[in-house]
Amino acid sequence: AQPMHLFSSVYDLLLRDPVDPLSRFYATLADAPASPAEAFPDFKRFCGEHRGEILERLEHRTVQSTYVERCRVLLPALSVVADEAGEPLNLVEIGTSAGVLLTVDKYAYDLGPAGRFGRSAPLTLKGDLHGAPKLHIPKIAARIGLDLHPLDVRSEEQRRWVLALIFPEFREQQERMAKALDVVAATDIRLMKGDALDLLPGVLAETLAPVCVFHSTTLMYWSPDAKAALDNLLKTASRGRDIWRV
């Protein structure tokens, strides 16, 4: 993730102040972006001029990419959980980043053969889902996000960092994310900083049923021992109650 960390740090600075000539190579900052093959001289100059700010971002910020499009995959699973566990669901996300997936119920969905849901939402997520059972958008009660470095998008600086983690060629994805971050900022989400293995026992103990623990890509960065510890933790916590995991 080191190259992405550098590129995102530069992009973050350009999003803050897009007047530098380097901006003309970014599809999200220029209507007709110049060829990236010609960008290196300006990129090198920009890095030299902003060396201190870039180093600060490399030292104190982390790569926590998130995409609202992942909600298209999460929604069907939560719909099935809600049918079996009841509603409203209490959600606990491991590796929440900015908490975007915790607002899964706030969007509209056009899933092709699986149907359309939430037509009046501010953002519609599209995809094709085949062979699914009857789906719906479940009601959500508690929204709890666990992360080593959670991002509070009510802060303009942290909101901009989330956007800077999206490749600048992905103009449509960034536009969708900007709308999603408005939703996140207006939603009551409890963000908790720390190791999920340390936080999760207490969170589960105080969270009412039905509770669903979910994670998207974060476990790919965990060691085998950490993954096994999470499995054991959830097995122990579920001995006296039902806990759903996605």
pLDDT tens, residue order, the chain (246 aa): 689 999 999 999 999 999 999 999 999 999 999 999 999 999 999 999 999 999 999 999 999 999 999 999 999 999 999 999 999 999 999 999 999 999 999 999 999 999 999 878 999 999 999 999 999 999 999 999 999 999 999 999 999 999 999 999 999 999 999 999 999 999 999 999 999 999 999 999 999 999 999 999 999 999 999 999 999 999 999 999 999 999
- Torsion, Cα 151 137 93 8, to 10 degrees, reads -40
Q: How far apart are CA 216 and CA 233, in angstroms?
A: 18
> What number of other Cβ atoms are within 10 A of residue 85's Cβ?
18
The edge-to-edge listing of strands for the beta sheet with 211-214 is 190-193, 140-147, 89-94, 211-214, 243-245
What's CA 207's distance to the chain center, in Å? Answer: 22
Q: What is the pLDDT of residue 1?
A: 62
pTM value?
Answer: 0.93
Q: What is the pLDDT of residue 119?
A: 78
Q: How far apart are CA 79 and CA 234, in angstroms?
A: 21
